[in-house]
A and B are shown apart, each in its own frame.
Chain A
Amino acid sequence: MYLTDRSTPAGADTEPGRRRGPGSKVAPVVLVLGAVSLITDISSEMVTAVLPLYLVTTLGFSPLGFGALDGVYNGVSALVQLTGGHLADRVRNHKLIAGLGYGLSALCKPLLLLVSSFGALGSVLALERTGKGLRTAPRDAMISLSTPPENQGRAFGVHRAMDTTGAMLGPLAAFFILRAAADGYDAVFGVSACVAALGVLVLVLFVPGRRQGGTQTLSISGGRQGAPTLSVPGGRQGVRPDEADAADADAQPDEAGVTDADAQRDEAGAADADEQRDETGAADGKRPIRVREALALLRLPRLRALACCAALLGLTTVSDAFVYLLLQRRAGIGEQWFTLLPLGTAVVFLVLAVPVGALADRVGRRTVFLTGHAGLLAGYALLLWAPATEALPFLVLALHGTFYAATDGVLPATLADIVPRHLRATGLAIVGTSQALARFCCSLAFGAAWTVWGDGPALAGSAVGLLCCAIVAGMVLRPDGGTR
């Protein structure tokens, strides 16, 4: 079997979630972004669900050639994410860059109707994923910036839950279309294009951008106008001769400046008025963010620690495809159930994303993040040593889904306390990219280990590695200065 890891940037639509009444603890913009992700995921998963069949029955392709594309694309996708994050901060308009990403993906859907050659199809799929990479960081930054620090986990949980709901509805929609119209793959692509367009439109209409005047979108809590302007560290007037110094200055005020800002933000209590202030603040003649300044983020010790830990843990996180394959081998799951295994993980993630996110806010995100990895470790242990009972697949998938619920949204949630507001998207992208690249390396290494030692020892090696990395991460992420 040829296996590659799907690139899962932190904040990529990984899997699961269901909307609970989020109450007033989640900013409206989070719900809007969640709706946009939900709609967009319905659209893209519709296509994904029918693609193999379409290739084989309609175009008469052997879809194997995509393997190579996928491997190459993992690296590209990670770099696109960095670019998206940095651009969003640079032009000080997260909505614009996220919108471009969603728009690019939406444009690819009707293109699918036009291409009938393998290379062109590969290019369209690559373009679609470029759009995905581009929008991830600015979207997560908007969630992050619109939410008070004590509710970050819940907000990301709500978003991921909505996102996964869409992912699960997509194949269902495709099924109904194909039932209404036999071989109606073009109809699936056409409807998918319409749904994607709707997602972009919801973003354009209801996500507050940089324009003055009205964040009363769906505003529940009318933002207090005239809240004191934030003194964003690094956003000083007057260019300093030495950028690096400015960055250093960033590193310290991170404690003072940002916490300060946070305090004010809480006091203002109006998440999106705040975002407004943040976005419109750009117009006040502040100089644009430069690459060097973005790079200087890496001087923030806590961001560096977090990015390193995400990468370290990513290096020992075996890709989903391998997990499902091993599970099938160990538990003797019938061929016909193989394609349902990802769905099991998704359901668990969907159910747990919000409660686990809220729990992370209460008991500490570091604790939950590390516990999630402990759950994954338990899953590996089951795969290695548990007898092939009826319950094994359910247990492993439950642990796998819990791992996603405890890490996928929780990791970006921790960044609110660490990265200054004007570099939030860049910071998110740095951490997300470190994790994605590490996971990609892991899948290459795991494939190689499997080749040399076989599947059991390869997984045992990963488990030992994960244990060591988790211990190191636990020490590095010591809760000092309230990273919680």
Chain B
Amino acid sequence: MTPLRRRLLILALAVLLLAGVGTGVVLHAASRADRANQPQPGGPTVSTGKLTLDQKGRLAFVNAAAGPHRTAVASVPSTDPRSGRIASDLKCARFYAAAGTGVCLQSNPGVLKQSNRALLLDAGLRTRRTFPLAGTPSRARVSPSGRFVAWTVFVSGESYSSAFFSTRTSVLDTRTMKLTPSLETFSVVKDGKPYHASDINFWGVTFASDDDTFYATLNTASKTYLVRGSLSRRTVTTLVQNVECPSLSPDGTRVAFKKRVLSRTDLWHEYVLDLRTLEETALAERHSVDDQATWLDNHTVAYALPTDGKVGSSDLWSVPADGTGTPRPLIAGASSPAPL
């Protein structure tokens, strides 16, 4: 081996070089983050204004356009989604609202761990209650009446590069403030028989208008199922396989969902399932959709797709729910759509 002094010199040089590179990438990312908070030329106009959840005829969403209002809840007129955005000062990773009740999932990096919270919002976007979350925000929904709220988070199992995650889905009754921390406490009927397993995961709840029935995805033994559940009876029943992130149409007859194209891949295709006939219709979107779609009305669904060439940003698109037509851009630089 070379003498100790020379090796120490090599080490010192390497430390300097690597520290330089490391500082460089951090500074580069920091300046990019600063730019993201500056309005970009050609971007949409976003202005601060009064945003409430009882303004009819508007579409609320999480604004992803660069500028000071990035990640803030904003809204546009449903009839003219390209017009100027009114932004609130509430920042969310995921958002949903119905009948004057809102839910906002937030995530902030912390010293020891991420700090994740769910905020229950009143119609003025004021926080009524805060709930700590066990993991990274994923899905959020409010029942059509505004009484029930559900959210799903990812919980990473362990440290040490364990590439394993589980989900936890909670349901909140906003009238009694009773929280069901995990749907995994509900009894499961799978293929007509009672079913118990330690590997059950639920995600993507969607509520019916009766404030009892809900639909969700159940995952066990590497298969996903659409389940219909009852909040009062605390049960779920499997209906069909390979259904993720269901979203119930306003008339309660159909469910939009994402179907895995190939097992073990992250490629999905958006479908609509008729709950009476269990017939599936592929929608006209050719891209892989990884989102819980939202019905704008009984004929159209909206969903987020990653913005081309921009990591970490998404656009909202809409497509007819009967499989016809073509996808149309709805709002650029946006996610979490919620028709008010």
- The chain A residues found within 8 Å of chain B, CB to CB, are 1-4, 6, 8, 12-14, 44-45, 47-48, 50-53, 56-70, 73, 116-119, 122, 125, 128-129, 132, 167, 171-172, 174-175, 177-184, 186-187, 190-191, 194-195, 197-198, 201-202, 205-206, 208-209, 211, 213-218, 320-321, 324, 334-336, 338-340, 342-343, 346, 446-447, 450-452, 454-455
- Give the residue of B1, B10, B114, B244 whose beta carbon is less than 8 angstroms from that of A211: B1
Q: List 10 A-B contacts (CB under 8 A).
A: A4-B157, A57-B312, A60-B306, A62-B244, A68-B264, A128-B161, A172-B111, A184-B26, A187-B28, A335-B133
Q: Determine whether the beta carbon of A52 is less than 8 Å from that of B163.
A: no
Q: Give the distance in Å from the alpha carbon of A206 to the alpha carbon of B11 in the complex.
A: 10
Known: A205-B11, A339-B113. Is A68-B222 also a contact (CB below 8 A)? yes
What's the interface size class on B, roughly?
35 or more
Q: Is the interface of B mostly helix, strand, loop or mixed?
A: mixed
- The chain B residues found within 8 Å of chain A, CB to CB, are 1, 3-4, 7, 10-11, 14-15, 18-19, 21-22, 25-30, 32-33, 36, 93, 107, 109-116, 131-138, 154-168, 181, 184, 196-201, 203, 219, 222, 244, 264-266, 290-291, 304, 306, 311-312, 314
Task: Tell me the smallest distance from the CB of B260 to a CB of chain A, in Å.
Answer: 9
Q: Determine whether the beta carbon of B166 is less than 8 Å from that of A1.
A: yes
Q: Give the distance in Å from the alpha carbon of A59 to the alpha carbon of B18 in the complex.
A: 27
Known: A53-B109, A179-B109. Is A3-B157 also a contact (CB below 8 A)? yes
Which residues does chain A contribute within 8 Å of B306, judged by CB atoms? 59-60
Which residues does chain B contribute within 8 Å of A343, judged by CB atoms? 112-113
- Give the residue of B29, B114, B200, B291 whose beta carbon is less than 8 angstroms from that of A339: B114
Which residues does chain A contribute within 8 Å of B30, judged by CB atoms? 180-181, 184, 187
Task: Tell me the smallest distance from the CB of B69 to a CB of chain A, in Å.
Answer: 14
Which residues does chain B contribute within 8 Å of A340, judged by CB atoms? 112-113
Q: Determine whether the beta carbon of A181 is less than 8 Å from that of B32.
A: yes
Q: Determine whether the beta carbon of B162 is less than 8 Å from that of A175.
A: no
Which residues does chain A contribute within 8 Å of B25, judged by CB atoms? 186-187, 190-191
Task: Tell me the smallest distance from the CB of B1 to a CB of chain A, in Å.
Answer: 5
Q: Which of B10, B134, B306, B314 has the most CB of A within 10 A?
A: B134
Closest B residue to A70 by beta carbon equals: B164
Closest A residue to B200 by beta carbon equals: A1
A-B pairs, top 4 by smallest CB distance, nearest first, are: A184-B29, A336-B132, A118-B266, A190-B25
Q: Determine whether the beta carbon of B4 is less than 8 Å from that of A132.
A: no
Q: Which of A68, A174, A346 has the most CB of B within 10 A?
A: A68
Task: Tell me the smallest distance from the CB of A370 to a CB of chain B, in Å.
Answer: 25
Known: A53-B109, A190-B21, A450-B198. Is A320-B266 also a contact (CB below 8 A)? no
Q: Which of B110, B163, B166, B306 has the most CB of A within 10 A?
A: B163
Knowing that A52-B136, A186-B29 touch, tell me 10 more A-B residue pairs with CB under 8 angstroms. Answer: A45-B159, A58-B312, A63-B156, A64-B166, A67-B222, A70-B164, A73-B163, A119-B264, A167-B160, A184-B29
Q: Determine whether the beta carbon of A6 is less than 8 Å from that of B160.
A: yes
Q: Give the distance in Å from the alpha carbon of A70 to the alpha carbon of B167 in the complex.
A: 16
Q: Give the distance in Å from the alpha carbon of A210 to the alpha carbon of B33 in the complex.
A: 48
- Give the residue of B161, B198, B264 whose beta carbon is less than 8 angstroms from that of A129: B161
Task: Tell me the smallest distance from the CB of B337 to a CB of chain A, in Å.
Answer: 15
Known: A181-B26, A184-B26. Is A3-B160 also a contact (CB below 8 A)? no
Q: Give the distance in Å from the alpha carbon of A48 to the alpha carbon of B222 in the complex.
A: 23
Which residues does chain A contribute within 8 Å of B181, judged by CB atoms? 335
Q: Determine whether the beta carbon of A48 is less than 8 Å from that of B160.
A: yes
Closest B residue to A450 by beta carbon equals: B198
Q: Determine whether the beta carbon of B113 is less than 8 Å from that of A171.
A: yes
Known: A45-B159, A336-B133. Is A175-B109 also a contact (CB below 8 A)? yes
Q: Determine whether the beta carbon of B134 is less than 8 Å from that of A339.
A: yes
Which residues does chain A contribute within 8 Å of B112, judged by CB atoms? 171-172, 175, 340, 343
Which residues does chain B contribute within 8 Å of A1, judged by CB atoms? 155, 166, 168, 184, 198-201
Q: Determine whether the beta carbon of A213 is less than 8 Å from that of B14.
A: no
Q: Determine whether the beta carbon of A2 is less than 8 Å from that of B163.
A: no
- Give the residue of A56, A70, A452 whose beta carbon is less than 8 angstroms from that of B137: A56
Closest A residue to B291 by beta carbon equals: A60
Q: Determine whether the beta carbon of A63 is less than 8 Å from that of B165.
A: yes
Which residues does chain A contribute within 8 Å of B199, judged by CB atoms? 1-3, 447, 451
Q: Determine whether the beta carbon of B14 is less than 8 Å from that of A53.
A: no
- Give the residue of B156, B290, B311 whose beta carbon is less than 8 angstroms from that of A61: B290
Task: Tell me the smallest distance from the CB of B24 to a CB of chain A, in Å.
Answer: 8
Task: Tell me the smallest distance from the CB of A254 to a CB of chain B, in Å.
Answer: 32
- Give the residue of B26, B107, B197 whose beta carbon is less than 8 angstroms from that of A191: B26
Q: Determine whether the beta carbon of A116 is less than 8 Å from that of B311.
A: yes
Q: Give the distance in Å from the alpha carbon of A125 to the alpha carbon of B15 in the complex.
A: 26
Known: A58-B311, A182-B33, A183-B33. Is A52-B165 also a contact (CB below 8 A)? yes
Q: Give the distance in Å from the alpha carbon of A125 to the alpha carbon of B112 in the complex.
A: 23
Q: Determine whether the beta carbon of B11 is less than 8 Å from that of A51.
A: no
Closest B residue to A108 by beta carbon equals: B161
Q: Determine whether the beta carbon of B109 is less than 8 Å from that of A2.
A: no
